Amino acid sequence: MKRSMIVFGVLCSAGISVAAYAKDHEAMGNMAHHQMMQDTNADQRISLQLTPQMKQHQLANMRSHVEAVQSIIGMLAENKFNEASAVAHNQLGLTPEMRKMCNMFGNDDFRKMGLAFHQSADELGDTLKTGDMSLSLKALHRTMNSCVQCHATFRQ
């Protein structure tokens, strides 16, 4: 009886320490996991270091870009190629205003990407004029590649 109590006690404390080890181990595992997650979650994109005012300005400009793309798609669906072309040139193309804006960011790669984007929108505008749906969609796809590429590279 006495002996079995001792054995039981030993087994119990062994059980507790195994449980404690497992818990510690789990905690360490979680920490390592957390750190890993932090690393992969970290935003690796280049920051443009914008002032709060420039941030608002840029985001508003971006929202008008997405709106322009939305209008172009709607017009394409109704075969309104000329109207879509005007939106591409006037709202996404390389207007003097857009050129000025791209130059404001003080980052050469960003400026180049921005200018290439606006140029591709002018090419889109020219393609839309042809009234060819397939070519137009390809051109829109190319322009949107610029959106995707810049967003993958830069953040505010």
Cα-based distances in Å from 135 to 76, 103, 126, 129, 132: 12, 31, 11, 10, 5
d(CA 58, CA 6): 74
The residue with tokens 């804006």 is 101
The token pair that represents 113 in the structure block: 């990407």
Listed ranges 6-14, 24-32, 63-71, 76-84: which one lies at the site for ligand HEC (CB under 6 A)? 63-71
Interaction between residue 146 and ligand HEC (CB under 6 A): yes
The one among 34, 63, 138, 141 contacting ligand HEC by CB under 6 A:
63
Selected range binding ligand HEC among 28-36, 64-72, 76-84, 131-139, rule: CB under 6 A: 64-72
Using alpha carbons only, give the angle 94, 96, 102 rounded to the nearest 5 degrees. Answer: 70
Binding to ligand HEC (CB under 6 A) within 112-131 occurs at 113-114, 117
**Binding residues vs ligand HEC (CB under 6 A):** 48, 59, 62-63, 65-66, 69, 110, 113-114, 117, 144, 146-147, 150-151, 154-156
